[in-house]
Structure 1
Amino acid sequence: MRGSVVGTAVTLAAGALLTAAMTTATASPPPTAPAPSRTGASQPVLVDCLWQQTVRPDDFILACGDGNSRLTGLRWSEWGPDGATAEGVNMVNDCKPYCAAGTFRSYPVTVRLDGATSWKKHPEVQRYDRMSLTYPEDRPEGFKQVMTYPLWD
């Protein structure tokens, strides 16, 4: 009987702690950095592999087919009709000896978006059509210091 009372008390205490933790988490102030936005009616958007439009994303997949190149930790200093600029890291799989057994390596990078034009899928939305990556230090094997890519339409 005593074991049953102790077990019930432990269960009730755990439930109270969980409730307190959830209440505290939901009452917490919003983070200081703005979260990525899924809308962008008044400003250009970045269209991802899944045709989702975002503004100031934290991460962005460059190699949609296999995910072997992605941008992470993006910190945007500009975002507007004339372009967008961020600092972040390009995580690239070296694919040695082959991609499934490769190692992801990180390279600091400056990201520049420009060429805001109407998006074919939603002509009322302006989307960036070009991305340039500048590697201030090391860069992936075979990459130039500045790599420019067309973006999805």
Structure 2
Amino acid sequence: MLCAATALAAAVAPASASAGSPAAAHAVVVDCFSNSQVRPGDFLLACGDGNNRLIELRWSAWGNTSAVGRGLDAVNDCQPFCAAGRFHSYPVIVRLDRPDSWKKHPELKRFTRLQLTYTDGRPSQTPRDVTYKLWD
């Protein structure tokens, strides 16, 4: 079953995902599967349970110090519990910054911070601006 899940994850990875080394001029974002990506179309925020994902991402800028884009934050309301919950999508501006060396590939810089700004509605109990520390 693990092999099937891995194969499925590889099959649905965005076209911009790269297992190799992206252009050195651009920093990368590291996904839940420890793959480097440049301008991903979607990005999983909740690696453990999949209940929060950025989707329909469109990047207006991607460089070696920062990246900016827009998309939707798809969040499971977990009502009455997560397995029975519904996903709701909220428009967001996404910012990536604070590049640092990636332990897996020290020659690459990877973004270490992701900031979301909700532009039209947001999940309950969620502030308008949210910052995530990204994994290595």
Q: What is the TM-score when the length of structure 1 is the normalising length?
A: 0.75
Matched, 1:130 2:113: yes
For residues 99 and 37 of structure 1, what CA distance do their matches in structure 2 show? 28
Please name the residue that 2:23 is paired with: 41
Contact 2:45/2:52 (8 A) holds in 1: yes
Decide which structure has the larger Cα Rg and report it: 1
Contact 2:17/2:35 (8 A) holds in 1: no
For residues 37 and 143 of structure 1, what CA distance do their matches in structure 2 show? 29
| Residue of structure 2 aligned with 1:86, choices 49, 69, 73 | 69
Count, aligned residues: 119
For residues 145 and 110 of structure 1, what CA distance do their matches in structure 2 show? 11
Cα–Cα, structure 1 residues 126 and 95, in superposed 2: closer, same or farther, change >3 Å?
same
Structure 2 gap ranges (5+): 1-14
Please name the residue that 2:94 is paired with: 111
Structure with higher helix content: 1
For residues 97 and 37 of structure 1, what CA distance do their matches in structure 2 show? 35
Instruction: Report the residue type matching 2:96 in the other structure.
Output: L
Instruction: Report the residue type matching 2:68 in the other structure.
Output: T
Identity %: 55
For residues 89 and 95 of structure 1, what CA distance do their matches in structure 2 show? 18
Matched, 1:140 2:123: yes
How large is the Cα RMSD of the aligned pairs?
Answer: 1.0
For residues 22 and 69 of structure 2, what CA distance do their matches in structure 1 show? 17
For residues 23 and 103 of structure 2, what CA distance do their matches in structure 1 show? 15
Instruction: Report the residue type matching 1:62 in the other structure.
Output: L
Structure 1 gap ranges (5+): 1-34
Consecutive aligned runs of 4 or more in structure 1 exceeding 6 Å deviation = none
Q: Post-superposition shift, 1:41?
A: 3.2
* Mapping for residues 7-18 of structure 1, pairs under 5 Å: none
Contact 1:63/1:70 (8 A) holds in 2: yes
For residues 82 and 54 of structure 1, what CA distance do their matches in structure 2 show? 15
Instruction: Report the residue type matching 1:137 in the other structure.
Output: D
Contact 2:27/2:65 (8 A) holds in 1: no
